Structure 1
Amino acid sequence: MIDPAELKTLPFFRSLDDEAIAVLAPHTELLTAKTGERVFEEGAPSDTLLVLVTGMVANRQHPIHGGEDILMNVVSRPGEVIGASALATADDAVHPFSAVCMEDSEFVVMPVAELWEAFEENPAVGLSLLARFTHMLAERLAAAREQIRSRIRPGLISQG
């Protein structure tokens, strides 16, 4: 279990109240990974939510037609979530990409099955965490839209 005060220092948990942190803390562990280590593999079961504490992680995806993995994005800010598909999808969720440490890294790890049990016992806590999670996904979607917009040549896509 990670100390609740330490969880509150991470941006993902900062907006949660003390009750929510107290409910979540028993379901957390610290994972350390070395440079070059894969935290998870594309296609592997996605059953844990990871929050970056320190380090840097490259999210890489296999191209459909083969070849070298494609760098999707880099996660380097403490508090960023990795493995969001575990919480956002069904029980049989799989990772859509591989996460590879670009430097020694630490993560808060939370088994999603335990989180859902905690949410059933404490619906207000579940609502708080899911609201924070939804906000994070909305930020990612906005950033992805901007990235796409910056790569499209004017006039390439017509409106209508």
Structure 2
Amino acid sequence: MTTPVADLDALPLFACLSHTERAAIAGVSRIETYRSGTRLFDEGAPADRCWVVLSGCVVLDAADPAGGRVALQGIGPGELVGLSWLVPPHRWHFGGSVVSPTRAVAIDTAAVRELADDDPALGYRLSLVLLASMVERLHTTRLRLLDRHRGP
């Protein structure tokens, strides 16, 4: 079994961070496994951690007006689950559920915010990681919307 730092070192997502910075993040992280059907977080709840998916899939969802949940996007290996932790009030904007057995690096985001506060250069590079994830999500959403509204 690998360690959080070995997993973070292997991910292109964190390539802009030095090994030392990845090790600092790994120091406030742990490897977790989840069964299909596990609810990771709910809309409006405190966003106190994020995950880097190593294997499996997590689906982001939102409440629909009828009281159910609507799947928005699947997050797979190498991708970050949870971007709401960085911006106050640090609450989830979506929900998230595991849809296939998943192994992930779970990161304590309060501790990461402290690391970033203590080292603004690290904070800047982390913001680049988060922005890259956000841009990818927006791109995927845009493509889905275009497909949905494309005529026959």
- TM-score relative to the length of structure 1: 0.82
The residue that corresponds to 2:73 in the other structure is 73
Q: Distance in 2 between matches of 1:60 and 1:140?
A: 13
Task: Report the CA distance shift for 1:107/1:3 in structure 2 as closer, same or farther (over 3 A).
Answer: closer
The answer to whether the 8 Å contact 1:58/1:102 transfers is yes
SS at match of 1:85: coil
The answer to whether the 8 Å contact 2:26/2:107 transfers is no
The answer to whether the 8 Å contact 1:19/1:125 transfers is no
Alignment of 1:10-159 (within 5 A): 10-63=11-64, 65-76=65-76, 78-87=77-86, 89-90=87-88, 92-153=89-150
Q: CA deviation at 1:105?
A: 0.8
Q: Distance in 1 between matches of 2:99 and 2:31?
A: 18
Q: Distance in 2 between matches of 1:99 and 1:68?
A: 14
Q: Distance in 1 between matches of 2:39 and 2:17?
A: 30
CA displacement, residues 91-125 of structure 1 (integer Å, 9 cap, x when unaligned):
x3322222111111122111221111111222222
Residue identity (%): 28
CA displacement, residues 51-91 of structure 1 (integer Å, 9 cap, x when unaligned):
1111111222211x224311111112x1211111112x20x
Letter in 2 for 1:40: F
Structure label with greater radius of gyration: 1
Q: Distance in 1 between matches of 2:133 and 2:37?
A: 27
Q: CA deviation at 1:139?
A: 2.0
Q: Distance in 1 between matches of 2:62 and 2:4?
A: 34
Letter in 2 for 1:46: A
Task: Report the CA distance shift for 1:35/1:153 in structure 2 as closer, same or farther (over 3 A).
Answer: closer
The residue that corresponds to 1:157 in the other structure is none
Q: Which structure 1 segments of 5+ residues have no match?
A: 155-160
Q: Which structure 2 segments of 5+ residues have no match?
A: none
- Could you say what the CA RMSD is over the residues aligned between the two structures, in angstroms? 1.8
Letter in 2 for 1:81: L
Q: CA deviation at 1:131?
A: 1.2
Q: CA deviation at 1:142?
A: 2.2
- TM-score relative to the length of structure 2: 0.86
The answer to whether the 8 Å contact 1:39/1:100 transfers is yes
- Greater shift, 24-33 or 144-153, is seen at 144-153
Letter in 2 for 1:69: R
